[in-house]
Amino acid sequence: MRRLVSGIVILGMSILAASAAAQTTTAPAQPAQPPPMTNLQIYPKDTPRPELVATMQGFAQALGVQCTYCHEGQAPQFDFAADTKRTKTVARKMILMSREITAKLPEVTSKPAAEVTRLRCATCHRGVAIPRLLPDILTETVNKSGAAAAVQQYRDLRKQYYGGQSYDFSENALVPVALQLTSANKPDDALTLLQLNAEFNPNSAPTYGGMAQAYLKKNDKENAIKNFEKVIQIDPNNQLAKRQLEQLKSSK
């Protein structure tokens, strides 16, 4: 076994030697050199290309996009220097904005510069190009296109992004949206969203609490009671639900 291993090593070494010899005698068959970078306006002009490309890969990952999102052309024929895409121009200003905010943090937090958090693209973007909170997205859709459209949108986003960092799919995201709908006198829309929430989070006390509020708005005491009872079953220390339940039962 030992002899075999050393045989392989010797064979390997002689191949290395042969290829070294080949390189000194013939022109090396190198891949085409990337063109020099000509349009760096933010990063130093002498930034080594691998370093810049690593930064770029960071952008792409932070925003959940490909290089083509900001750059003209398609692999392998990119025109990285061109400033034709709006997104590239925005990205330059985003770099400056992030630096400006980071520079203000020591003053704002009364911490030494070395201790403040550096604001990075991903700090805000978290894997999407337009970083918006899920409750805001859904509220807008309910108001523009109705609750059914918001439910579909939630399902689509969940399918695409669940498990990632982009959106909060926990039990908490839909409840405030629903409570707002109830106060805006749209309890049926609220119930539609809360039923969706219960489908994914069947043990979420705030979800049934939200349903109880929506039924109260509809003057449906029976269903309000049922839902407050569910809240207390899941969360026996919920004093607010207990009080509301008692009130409802005594006024029945």
* Residues binding ligand HEC (CB under 6 A): 37-43, 52-53, 56-57, 59-60, 63, 65, 67, 69-71, 80-81, 87-88, 90-92, 94-95, 98, 119, 121, 123-125, 129-131
Rounded least distance, CB 113 to ligand HEC, Å: 18
CB-wise, 66 or 233, nearer to ligand HEC? 66
CB-wise, 67 or 234, nearer to ligand HEC? 67
CB-wise, 98 or 223, nearer to ligand HEC? 98
Which residues share a beta bridge with 73? 78
CB-wise, 60 or 248, nearer to ligand HEC? 60
- Answer whether 140's CB lies under 8 Å from 74's CB: no
CB-wise, 165 or 185, nearer to ligand HEC? 165
Rounded least distance, CB 151 to ligand HEC, Å: 24
- The full length of the chain comes to 252
Rounded least distance, CB 47 to ligand HEC, Å: 8
CB-wise, 95 or 116, nearer to ligand HEC? 95
Burial readout 196-206 (b: 16 or more C-beta within 10 A, e: otherwise): bbbebbeebbb
Rounded least distance, CB 120 to ligand HEC, Å: 6
Separation of alpha carbons 248 and 222, rounded Å: 9
Separation of alpha carbons 142 and 146, rounded Å: 4
- Answer whether 223's CB lies under 8 Å from 209's CB: no
Rounded least distance, CB 48 to ligand HEC, Å: 11
- Answer whether 51's CB lies under 8 Å from 37's CB: no
Alpha helices in 146-173 (DSSP H): 147-161
- Answer whether 165's CB lies under 8 Å from 126's CB: yes
Rounded least distance, CB 176 to ligand HEC, Å: 20
Alpha helices in 64-204 (DSSP H): 86-109, 121-125, 134-145, 147-161, 174-183, 187-200
Separation of alpha carbons 223 and 239, rounded Å: 19
